[in-house]
Structure 1
Amino acid sequence: MDSPIQLLENTDQATKQALENVRKRKEKFDRFKHRHILSIWATIILAASFLTYLYITVASIYSYSFAAMFSAFVNDSNNLTLLVFCVGMYGTMNLLKEKKDKAEKEYHELRREIVDRSKDYWKKEEEWKNRHLVFELMKKLYDINLYHENK
Protein backbone atom coordinates (compact mmCIF):
# COMPACT_ATOMS: atom_id res chain seq x y z
CA MET A 1 0.00 0.00 0.00
CA ASP A 2 1.20 3.51 -0.75
CA SER A 3 2.74 5.08 2.36
CA PRO A 4 0.79 8.39 2.49
CA ILE A 5 -2.46 6.45 2.44
CA GLN A 6 -1.17 3.97 5.03
CA LEU A 7 -0.17 6.80 7.37
CA LEU A 8 -3.64 8.41 7.39
CA GLU A 9 -5.10 8.96 10.82
CA ASN A 10 -8.82 8.82 11.64
CA THR A 11 -9.28 6.29 8.83
CA ASP A 12 -9.86 2.57 9.28
CA GLN A 13 -8.13 -0.16 7.29
CA ALA A 14 -11.10 -0.81 4.97
CA THR A 15 -11.20 2.86 3.98
CA LYS A 16 -7.46 2.87 3.40
CA GLN A 17 -7.84 -0.17 1.15
CA ALA A 18 -10.62 1.54 -0.83
CA LEU A 19 -8.44 4.64 -1.25
CA GLU A 20 -5.51 2.48 -2.35
CA ASN A 21 -7.74 0.73 -4.90
CA VAL A 22 -8.91 4.03 -6.38
CA ARG A 23 -5.27 5.19 -6.54
CA LYS A 24 -4.29 2.04 -8.44
CA ARG A 25 -7.21 2.45 -10.85
CA LYS A 26 -6.24 6.08 -11.47
CA GLU A 27 -2.64 4.99 -12.13
CA LYS A 28 -3.84 2.33 -14.58
CA PHE A 29 -6.08 4.85 -16.35
CA ASP A 30 -3.24 7.38 -16.62
CA ARG A 31 -0.91 4.71 -18.01
CA PHE A 32 -3.40 3.69 -20.73
CA LYS A 33 -4.16 7.33 -21.49
CA HIS A 34 -0.45 8.00 -22.05
CA ARG A 35 -0.05 4.91 -24.23
CA HIS A 36 -3.10 5.87 -26.29
CA ILE A 37 -1.73 9.36 -26.94
CA LEU A 38 1.61 7.87 -28.00
CA SER A 39 -0.15 5.45 -30.34
CA ILE A 40 -2.11 8.32 -31.90
CA TRP A 41 1.08 10.22 -32.65
CA ALA A 42 2.86 7.09 -33.91
CA THR A 43 -0.07 6.38 -36.25
CA ILE A 44 -0.10 9.95 -37.55
CA ILE A 45 3.66 9.99 -38.13
CA LEU A 46 3.64 6.57 -39.81
CA ALA A 47 0.69 7.49 -42.05
CA ALA A 48 2.29 10.81 -43.01
CA SER A 49 5.56 9.05 -43.79
CA PHE A 50 3.74 6.46 -45.89
CA LEU A 51 1.84 9.11 -47.84
CA THR A 52 5.04 11.06 -48.41
CA TYR A 53 6.76 7.89 -49.61
CA LEU A 54 3.84 7.18 -51.95
CA TYR A 55 3.92 10.68 -53.33
CA ILE A 56 7.66 10.53 -54.01
CA THR A 57 7.80 7.00 -55.44
CA VAL A 58 4.44 6.68 -57.19
CA ALA A 59 2.30 9.79 -57.54
CA SER A 60 4.89 12.27 -58.75
CA ILE A 61 6.43 9.86 -61.28
CA TYR A 62 3.28 8.22 -62.67
CA SER A 63 0.81 11.09 -62.33
CA TYR A 64 -0.12 10.97 -66.01
CA SER A 65 -2.22 7.79 -65.57
CA PHE A 66 -4.14 6.19 -62.74
CA ALA A 67 -3.48 2.73 -64.18
CA ALA A 68 0.27 3.42 -64.19
CA MET A 69 0.10 4.67 -60.59
CA PHE A 70 -1.85 1.59 -59.49
CA SER A 71 0.57 -0.71 -61.30
CA ALA A 72 3.57 0.99 -59.70
CA PHE A 73 1.91 0.79 -56.28
CA VAL A 74 1.23 -2.94 -56.60
CA ASN A 75 4.68 -3.75 -58.03
CA ASP A 76 6.57 -2.26 -55.07
CA SER A 77 6.43 -4.61 -52.04
CA ASN A 78 7.44 -1.78 -49.70
CA ASN A 79 4.02 -0.22 -50.26
CA LEU A 80 2.23 -3.32 -48.97
CA THR A 81 4.56 -3.54 -45.96
CA LEU A 82 4.04 0.10 -45.03
CA LEU A 83 0.28 -0.20 -45.57
CA VAL A 84 0.15 -3.20 -43.22
CA PHE A 85 2.13 -1.24 -40.61
CA CYS A 86 -0.25 1.72 -40.92
CA VAL A 87 -3.33 -0.48 -40.54
CA GLY A 88 -1.68 -2.30 -37.62
CA MET A 89 -0.89 0.97 -35.86
CA TYR A 90 -4.45 2.14 -36.41
CA GLY A 91 -5.75 -1.10 -34.88
CA THR A 92 -3.37 -0.74 -31.94
CA MET A 93 -4.56 2.82 -31.43
CA ASN A 94 -8.19 1.65 -31.32
CA LEU A 95 -7.35 -1.22 -28.95
CA LEU A 96 -5.58 1.14 -26.57
CA LYS A 97 -8.54 3.53 -26.72
CA GLU A 98 -10.88 0.74 -25.66
CA LYS A 99 -8.56 -0.21 -22.79
CA LYS A 100 -8.26 3.44 -21.75
CA ASP A 101 -12.05 3.86 -21.78
CA LYS A 102 -12.51 0.69 -19.72
CA ALA A 103 -9.88 1.78 -17.17
CA GLU A 104 -11.48 5.24 -16.98
CA LYS A 105 -14.91 3.71 -16.36
CA GLU A 106 -13.56 1.45 -13.59
CA TYR A 107 -11.72 4.35 -11.97
CA HIS A 108 -14.72 6.69 -11.98
CA GLU A 109 -17.09 3.97 -10.72
CA LEU A 110 -14.83 3.28 -7.76
CA ARG A 111 -14.30 7.00 -7.10
CA ARG A 112 -18.08 7.59 -7.16
CA GLU A 113 -18.59 4.66 -4.80
CA ILE A 114 -16.20 6.21 -2.28
CA VAL A 115 -18.04 9.54 -2.55
CA ASP A 116 -21.41 7.80 -2.12
CA ARG A 117 -20.28 5.68 0.81
CA SER A 118 -18.31 8.38 2.62
CA LYS A 119 -20.77 8.27 5.54
CA ASP A 120 -20.02 4.56 5.92
CA TYR A 121 -16.26 5.03 5.67
CA TRP A 122 -16.11 7.87 8.20
CA LYS A 123 -18.76 6.83 10.74
CA LYS A 124 -17.45 8.51 13.88
CA GLU A 125 -17.95 12.23 14.41
CA GLU A 126 -14.22 12.92 14.67
CA GLU A 127 -13.48 10.93 11.48
CA TRP A 128 -16.28 12.75 9.63
CA LYS A 129 -14.90 16.15 10.60
CA ASN A 130 -11.38 15.22 9.46
CA ARG A 131 -12.29 13.49 6.18
CA HIS A 132 -11.50 16.69 4.26
CA LEU A 133 -7.83 16.06 5.14
CA VAL A 134 -8.04 12.71 3.35
CA PHE A 135 -9.78 14.33 0.37
CA GLU A 136 -7.11 17.04 0.18
CA LEU A 137 -4.33 14.44 0.34
CA MET A 138 -5.88 12.40 -2.46
CA LYS A 139 -6.39 15.52 -4.59
CA LYS A 140 -2.90 16.90 -3.99
CA LEU A 141 -0.86 13.70 -4.31
CA TYR A 142 -2.86 11.68 -6.84
CA ASP A 143 -5.21 14.18 -8.54
CA ILE A 144 -8.25 12.21 -7.38
CA ASN A 145 -11.29 14.34 -6.59
CA LEU A 146 -13.39 12.79 -3.83
CA TYR A 147 -15.38 15.93 -3.07
CA HIS A 148 -17.99 15.40 -5.83
CA GLU A 149 -19.29 12.48 -7.84
CA ASN A 150 -18.85 14.21 -11.18
CA LYS A 151 -15.42 14.84 -12.64
Structure 2
Amino acid sequence: MITENRMTFPERFALVAAAFVALHVGTAFGAQATDAAAHEAHHPAAASAASTKTKKLAGVDQQLKQMQAMHEKMTAATTPEQRAALMDEQMKSMQNGMHMMDMMKQDSSGMPMSGEKHEMMEMRLDMMQMMMQAMMDRQSAQTPPTGK
Protein backbone atom coordinates (compact mmCIF):
# COMPACT_ATOMS: atom_id res chain seq x y z
CA MET A 1 0.00 0.00 0.00
CA ILE A 2 1.38 3.34 -1.07
CA THR A 3 0.45 6.44 0.77
CA GLU A 4 0.49 9.68 -1.04
CA ASN A 5 2.68 12.35 0.37
CA ARG A 6 0.81 15.48 -0.46
CA MET A 7 2.50 18.69 0.46
CA THR A 8 0.62 21.87 0.94
CA PHE A 9 1.46 24.95 -1.07
CA PRO A 10 3.46 26.63 1.73
CA GLU A 11 5.49 23.43 2.20
CA ARG A 12 6.25 23.18 -1.51
CA PHE A 13 7.13 26.87 -1.64
CA ALA A 14 9.47 26.49 1.33
CA LEU A 15 11.15 23.48 -0.32
CA VAL A 16 11.67 25.34 -3.61
CA ALA A 17 12.92 28.43 -1.78
CA ALA A 18 15.37 26.33 0.26
CA ALA A 19 16.66 24.66 -2.90
CA PHE A 20 17.04 28.03 -4.61
CA VAL A 21 18.94 29.50 -1.65
CA ALA A 22 21.20 26.44 -1.43
CA LEU A 23 21.95 26.67 -5.15
CA HIS A 24 22.56 30.41 -4.97
CA VAL A 25 24.86 30.18 -1.94
CA GLY A 26 26.84 27.35 -3.52
CA THR A 27 27.28 29.40 -6.69
CA ALA A 28 28.35 32.47 -4.74
CA PHE A 29 31.02 30.56 -2.84
CA GLY A 30 32.21 28.97 -6.08
CA ALA A 31 32.45 32.38 -7.71
CA GLN A 32 34.58 33.68 -4.84
CA ALA A 33 36.92 30.74 -5.18
CA THR A 34 37.82 31.57 -8.78
CA ASP A 35 41.45 32.24 -9.51
CA ALA A 36 42.45 35.92 -9.71
CA ALA A 37 44.55 35.28 -12.80
CA ALA A 38 41.55 33.78 -14.58
CA HIS A 39 39.52 36.82 -13.60
CA GLU A 40 42.15 39.21 -14.96
CA ALA A 41 42.33 37.16 -18.15
CA HIS A 42 38.60 37.71 -18.46
CA HIS A 43 39.15 41.50 -18.16
CA PRO A 44 42.47 42.12 -19.95
CA ALA A 45 41.94 45.87 -20.42
CA ALA A 46 41.57 46.47 -16.68
CA ALA A 47 44.59 44.32 -15.90
CA SER A 48 46.77 46.12 -18.43
CA ALA A 49 45.54 49.54 -17.23
CA ALA A 50 46.51 48.65 -13.66
CA SER A 51 49.86 47.39 -14.90
CA THR A 52 50.44 50.62 -16.84
CA LYS A 53 49.52 52.72 -13.79
CA THR A 54 51.93 50.74 -11.63
CA LYS A 55 54.73 51.23 -14.16
CA LYS A 56 54.05 54.98 -14.39
CA LEU A 57 54.00 55.41 -10.62
CA ALA A 58 57.19 53.38 -10.33
CA GLY A 59 58.77 55.66 -12.92
CA VAL A 60 57.69 58.73 -10.97
CA ASP A 61 59.10 57.26 -7.76
CA GLN A 62 62.36 56.53 -9.54
CA GLN A 63 62.51 60.09 -10.92
CA LEU A 64 61.87 61.55 -7.45
CA LYS A 65 64.65 59.41 -5.96
CA GLN A 66 67.01 60.45 -8.74
CA MET A 67 66.21 64.12 -8.14
CA GLN A 68 66.74 63.68 -4.39
CA ALA A 69 70.11 62.03 -5.06
CA MET A 70 71.03 64.94 -7.34
CA HIS A 71 70.13 67.41 -4.58
CA GLU A 72 72.33 65.49 -2.15
CA LYS A 73 75.24 65.58 -4.64
CA MET A 74 74.82 69.33 -5.08
CA THR A 75 74.69 69.82 -1.32
CA ALA A 76 77.78 67.66 -0.83
CA ALA A 77 79.78 69.61 -3.41
CA THR A 78 82.19 71.85 -1.56
CA THR A 79 83.72 73.87 -4.37
CA PRO A 80 82.15 75.94 -7.13
CA GLU A 81 83.95 73.72 -9.67
CA GLN A 82 82.29 70.59 -8.28
CA ARG A 83 78.88 72.29 -8.40
CA ALA A 84 79.46 73.48 -11.97
CA ALA A 85 80.35 69.93 -13.01
CA LEU A 86 77.00 68.69 -11.64
CA MET A 87 74.90 71.36 -13.35
CA ASP A 88 74.48 69.53 -16.69
CA GLU A 89 73.40 66.37 -14.93
CA GLN A 90 70.97 68.35 -12.80
CA MET A 91 69.52 70.11 -15.85
CA LYS A 92 68.86 66.75 -17.56
CA SER A 93 67.18 65.52 -14.39
CA MET A 94 64.96 68.58 -14.27
CA GLN A 95 64.03 68.22 -17.96
CA ASN A 96 63.09 64.57 -17.40
CA GLY A 97 60.99 65.61 -14.42
CA MET A 98 59.19 68.29 -16.42
CA HIS A 99 58.43 65.81 -19.18
CA MET A 100 57.12 63.29 -16.66
CA MET A 101 54.91 65.89 -14.97
CA ASP A 102 53.49 66.90 -18.35
CA MET A 103 52.66 63.26 -19.11
CA MET A 104 51.02 62.84 -15.71
CA LYS A 105 48.90 65.93 -16.35
CA GLN A 106 47.76 64.57 -19.70
CA ASP A 107 46.97 61.15 -18.20
CA SER A 108 44.85 62.61 -15.42
CA SER A 109 43.06 65.32 -17.41
CA GLY A 110 40.10 63.11 -18.35
CA MET A 111 39.77 61.41 -14.98
CA PRO A 112 37.09 62.26 -12.48
CA MET A 113 38.44 63.16 -9.04
CA SER A 114 39.33 59.82 -7.55
CA GLY A 115 41.96 58.29 -5.32
CA GLU A 116 44.14 57.61 -8.34
CA LYS A 117 43.92 61.20 -9.60
CA HIS A 118 44.59 62.50 -6.10
CA GLU A 119 47.68 60.28 -5.84
CA MET A 120 48.97 61.52 -9.20
CA MET A 121 48.38 65.12 -8.15
CA GLU A 122 50.36 64.59 -4.95
CA MET A 123 53.23 63.03 -6.89
CA ARG A 124 53.26 65.99 -9.30
CA LEU A 125 53.41 68.36 -6.34
CA ASP A 126 56.30 66.38 -4.84
CA MET A 127 58.13 66.58 -8.16
CA MET A 128 57.49 70.33 -8.38
CA GLN A 129 58.90 70.77 -4.91
CA MET A 130 62.02 68.81 -5.88
CA MET A 131 62.43 70.99 -8.97
CA MET A 132 62.14 74.15 -6.92
CA GLN A 133 64.83 72.76 -4.62
CA ALA A 134 66.99 72.01 -7.67
CA MET A 135 66.56 75.60 -8.89
CA MET A 136 67.62 76.87 -5.48
CA ASP A 137 70.65 74.56 -5.62
CA ARG A 138 71.55 75.97 -9.04
CA GLN A 139 71.14 79.52 -7.79
CA SER A 140 73.44 78.90 -4.84
CA ALA A 141 76.00 77.21 -7.10
CA GLN A 142 76.06 80.18 -9.49
CA THR A 143 76.38 82.89 -6.89
CA PRO A 144 79.32 82.70 -4.53
CA PRO A 145 78.52 83.06 -0.84
CA THR A 146 78.89 86.56 0.45
CA GLY A 147 81.51 87.15 3.12
CA LYS A 148 80.25 88.71 6.34
TM range (shorter): 0.3 to 0.5
Higher relative contact order (CA 8 A, sep 6+): 1
Q: Pick the structure with greater CA Rg.
A: 2
The TM-score normalised by the length of structure 2 is 0.45
